[in-house]
């Protein structure tokens, strides 16, 4: 029996874990796209407008500029307006190392448009006065007219490719084709955008940037000067072509296409499919008339829901009243890979469930490269991935880039949103974070084939003395010798501080301190401490006076809080919390899953965290404040309805109008219940705190005591419970 289990596990691992993931940086906010410079530096854009440079050698994060873009943000987390707008894409000029030029695609605030611009970096930051506007694509932002795509890439031919979405409301067409021709349904009609040869939306555009703008290269879909067409179009008929990629040897274009929602074939059309597409030359890929392997949608009349003729694949007709382009479109191309919500008949390894297809790099075997995803010289593969499924797939191709077979290469990723190949053959992976918006857990990691030397791991912590840090733990999986080098960030540069197990920050202003552990094969791991808001005054220490072996429920503990510079007692507090023996709650208090869902659905978590204050107070603080008061639920319900400021600070909470009464009751009682088992004492550095007696868990756990004071890093200790 034992053997069976072991070999089963080994089999699972062999199938799925053929890439290992190692973190480079964490804590990014909705990162969208990454570009790798020749010198290995990573340039990343975040949805809300930050442009970052990441140094993968040191884990450094440098903010190069913050664009003022239209987007959903914390002050308007429920905006129904331009929900997929923001800073969407980045590419580096092919001569970036000489000219420091970057291309950004972003949603403008001063007009309703998405813009492709070139900026030049000056002393490592974006010089906003250097902006050269290349393309401005008018976009509609009302009625959930979504799908902006926004991938920007240079091909090996130094041509710039930009993907744009159909800018159409995905609802109210039963998950089939949004071809609503009624007068007042502009935002529900993709015939005006993706199916329109005279509109830049729902396309992949291809241009050659010049000093002052761009030129049209030969070989785009329509010859310049053709009436009712735009010469920038390389591919038309796209819905939301999210990430694109170019074969470095052949310039063949690949992209992922996010498809519509229908779960079944009906009289109104085929079910929805996501697609991975391949274009060796310019073409029409069908949307909103054709999907998947050329499955046509019938022409539907939304005024009476009658179903008309089937689209002709060789010459699809766009009869939409808002079509300003050609009526007869170029022939429709089949997708390269297509898959629905349910199991795919054609591509069973794609799995099932939510979908959001993306195209990643094309890999060749190169014997002199450090890492090779491909084992054999001569083989080729396209890596594709899916944002929803959290997986990377490897599509093995033959010499003519035809699909041979398809396998899962990696699972368990948190919304992978970009995947690029570094020059050593490793992959740079961008993960967007767990939610749709307002994430703070976006990350960048490096993926290398399993079986290679693994990097070490390292943790660091501040010492009691101000501005001093030490290595808490450093290990190497292969027990290799590891050296530790320290860095600190100041503006857009970093300073090397020295090596060893402890470090003192030199005088000056720094935003973080980092330790880089390197093993003797050059593999690296990073640890960082953010200095913003941390530790200006030093660290607190917490001591128990005359400690007992263990403490029971309701007993008191004598404590003393100290620090190198004395803390202000009125700004100091100590909390004691019971942690059951099962360790189940050891990560801290949390909302029950069902309540967490309500909080997420209502975007409460954009401003509130359970244990830490952010825009609003932490829910634990709210609980401790109100748990012994009368009519708390009534008061808080009213406050949620009407919003307001003044209890926790000057920032107001907006009225939570969309929260219904039943959910309000549930979430408020859950919030109040959070502090069960937690006691608190404020305003003193020395004294007694009574341990809670309102927990019914079995004894045998521990009490966790946390001392906090404004401007200090907290002290946390655990003592046995009885």
Task: Write out the residues near ligand HEC by the rule CB under 6 A.
Answer: 77, 602-604, 606-608, 615-617, 622, 636, 639-640, 644-649, 651, 653-654, 656, 659, 667, 671
And the tokens for 304?
């009476």
Q: In this complex, which beta carbon is closest to ligand HEC, that of residue 12 or of residue 669? A: 669
Instruction: Report d(CA 498, CA 495) in Å as an integer.
Output: 9
Q: In this complex, which beta carbon is closest to ligand HEC, that of residue 119 or of residue 437? A: 437
Q: How far is the CB of 663 from ligand HEC (least distance, A)?
A: 8
Q: How far is the CB of 513 from ligand HEC (least distance, A)?
A: 31
Q: How far is the CB of 676 from ligand HEC (least distance, A)?
A: 16
Count of C-beta atoms within a 10 Å radius of residue 24: 21
Distance of CA 497 to CAs 255, 485, 520, 614, 688, Å?
A: 44, 8, 20, 32, 42
User: Are the CB atoms for 253 and 246 separated by under 8 Å?
Assistant: yes
Q: How far is the CB of 141 from ligand HEC (least distance, A)?
A: 21
Q: In this complex, which beta carbon is closest to ligand HEC, that of residue 581 or of residue 645? A: 645
Q: How far is the CB of 94 from ligand HEC (least distance, A)?
A: 43
Q: How far is the CB of 690 from ligand HEC (least distance, A)?
A: 25
Q: How far is the CB of 79 from ligand HEC (least distance, A)?
A: 12
| Burial (0-12, 13-18, 19+ Cβ within 10 Å), 226 | middle
User: Are the CB atoms for 51 and 66 separated by under 8 Å?
Assistant: yes
Q: In this complex, which beta carbon is closest to ligand HEC, that of residue 79 or of residue 334? A: 79
Q: How far is the CB of 61 from ligand HEC (least distance, A)?
A: 26
In this structure, the chain runs to a length of: 722
Q: In this complex, which beta carbon is closest to ligand HEC, that of residue 645 or of residue 716? A: 645
User: Are the CB atoms for 180 and 145 separated by under 8 Å?
Assistant: no
Among 366, 518, 628, 445, residue whose Cα is nearest residue 20: 445
Q: In this complex, which beta carbon is closest to ligand HEC, that of residue 531 or of residue 622? A: 622
Distance of CA 18 to CAs 24, 357, 393, 394, 609, Å?
A: 19, 21, 11, 11, 36
User: Are the CB atoms for 192 and 166 separated by under 8 Å?
Assistant: no
What sign has the CA pseudo-torsion 312, 197, 216, 234?
Answer: negative
Q: In this complex, which beta carbon is closest to ligand HEC, that of residue 6 or of residue 651? A: 651
Q: How far is the CB of 76 from ligand HEC (least distance, A)?
A: 8
Instruction: Report d(CA 456, CA 538) in Å as an integer.
Output: 29
Residue written as token pair 């959930």: 144
Instruction: Report d(CA 143, CA 188) in Å as an integer.
Output: 9
Q: In this complex, which beta carbon is closest to ligand HEC, that of residue 567 or of residue 667? A: 667
Q: In this complex, which beta carbon is closest to ligand HEC, that of residue 399 or of residue 646? A: 646
In the Cβ-directed half-sphere of 677, how many Cα atoms lie within 13 Å? 21
Instruction: Report d(CA 108, CA 119) in Å as an integer.
Output: 15
Q: In this complex, which beta carbon is closest to ligand HEC, that of residue 581 or of residue 647? A: 647
Instruction: Report d(CA 123, CA 310) in Å as an integer.
Output: 58
């Amino acid at each position: 029996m034992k053997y069976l289990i072991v070999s089963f596990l080994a089999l699972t691992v062999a199938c799925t874990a053929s890439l290992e993931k190692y973190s480079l940086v964490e804590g990014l906010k909705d990162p969208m796209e990454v570009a790798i410079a020749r010198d290995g530096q990573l340039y990343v854009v975040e949805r809300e407008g930050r442009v970052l440079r990441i140094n993968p050698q040191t884990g450094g994060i440098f903010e190069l500029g913050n664009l003022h873009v239209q987007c959903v943000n914390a002050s308007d987390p429920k905006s129904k307006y331009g929900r997929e707008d923001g800073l969407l894409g980045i590419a580096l000029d092919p001569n970036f190392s000489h000219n420091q030029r970057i291309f950004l695609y972003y949603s403008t605030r001063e007009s309703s448009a998405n813009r492709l611009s070139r900026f030049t970096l000056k002393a490592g930051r974006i010089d906003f006065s250097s902006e050269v506007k290349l393309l401005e694509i008018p976009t509609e932002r009302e009625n959930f007219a979504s799908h902006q795509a926004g991938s920007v890439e240079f091909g090996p031919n130094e041509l710039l490719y930009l993907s744009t979405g159909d800018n159409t409301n995905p609802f109210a067409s039963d998950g089939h084709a949004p071809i609503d021709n009624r007068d007042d349904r502009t935002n529900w009609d993709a015939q005006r955008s993706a199916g329109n040869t005279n509109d830049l939306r729902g396309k992949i555009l291809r241009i050659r940037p010049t000093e002052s703008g761009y030129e049209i290269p030969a070989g785009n879909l329509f010859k310049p000067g053709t009436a009712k067409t735009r010469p920038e179009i390389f591919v038309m008929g796209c819905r939301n072509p999210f990430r694109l990629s170019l074969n470095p040897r052949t310039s063949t274009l690949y992209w992922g296409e996010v498809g519509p929602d229908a779960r079944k074939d009906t009289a109104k059309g085929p079910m929805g499919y996501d697609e991975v597409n391949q274009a060796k030359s310019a073409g029409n890929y069908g949307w909103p008339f054709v999907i998947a392997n050329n499955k046509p949608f019938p022409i539907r009349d939304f005024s009476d829901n009658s179903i008309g003729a089937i689209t002709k694949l060789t010459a699809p007709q766009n009869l939409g009243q808002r079509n300003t382009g050609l009526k007869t479109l170029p022939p429709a191309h089949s997708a390269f890979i297509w898959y629905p919500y349910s199991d795919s008949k054609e591509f069973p390894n794609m799995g099932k469930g939510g979908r959001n297809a993306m195209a990643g790099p094309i890999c060749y075997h190169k014997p002199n490269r450090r890492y090779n995803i491909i084992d054999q010289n001569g083989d080729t593969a396209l890596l594709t991935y899916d944002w929803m499924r959290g997986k990377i797939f490897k599509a093995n191709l033959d010499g003519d880039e035809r699909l041979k077979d398809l396998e899962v290469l990696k699972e368990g990723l948190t919304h992978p949103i970009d995947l690029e190949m570094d020059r050593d053959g490793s992959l740079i992976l961008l993960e967007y974070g767990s939610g749709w918006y307002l994430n703070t857990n976006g990350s960048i990691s490096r993926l290398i084939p399993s079986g290679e030397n693994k990097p070490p791991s390292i943790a660091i912590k501040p010492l009691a003395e101000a501005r001093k840090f030490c290595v808490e733990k450093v290990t190497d999986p292969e027990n290799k010798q590891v050296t530790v080098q320290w860095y600190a960030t100041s503006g857009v540069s970093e300073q090397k501080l020295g090596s060893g197990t402890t470090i003192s920050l030199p005088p000056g202003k720094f935003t973080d301190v980092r330790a880089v552990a390197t093993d003797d094969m050059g593999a690296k791991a990073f640890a960082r401490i953010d200095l913003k808001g941390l530790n200006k005054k030093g660290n607190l220490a917490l001591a128990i006076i005359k400690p007992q072996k263990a403490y029971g429920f309701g007993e008191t503990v004598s404590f003393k809080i100290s620090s190198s510079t004395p803390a202000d007692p009125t700004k100091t507090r100590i909390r004691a919390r019971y942690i059951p023996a099962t360790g189940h709650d050891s990560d801290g208090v949390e909302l029950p899953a069902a309540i967490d869902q309500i909080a997420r659905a209502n975007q409460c978590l954009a401003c509130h965290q359970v244990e830490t204050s952010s825009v609003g107070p932490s829910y634990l603080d709210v609980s401790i404040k109100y748990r012994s008061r009368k009519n708390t639920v009534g008061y808080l319900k009213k406050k949620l309805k009407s919003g307001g400021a003044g209890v926790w600070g000057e920032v107001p909470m907006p009225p939570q109008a969309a929260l219904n009464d039943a959910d309000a009751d549930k979430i408020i009682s859950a919030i109040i219940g959070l502090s069960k088992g937690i006691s608190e004492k404020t305003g003193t550095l020395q004294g007694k705190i009574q341990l809670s007696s309102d927990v019914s868990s079995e004894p045998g756990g521990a009490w966790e005591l946390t001392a906090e004071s404004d401007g200090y890093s907290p002290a946390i200790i655990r003592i046995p419970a009885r």
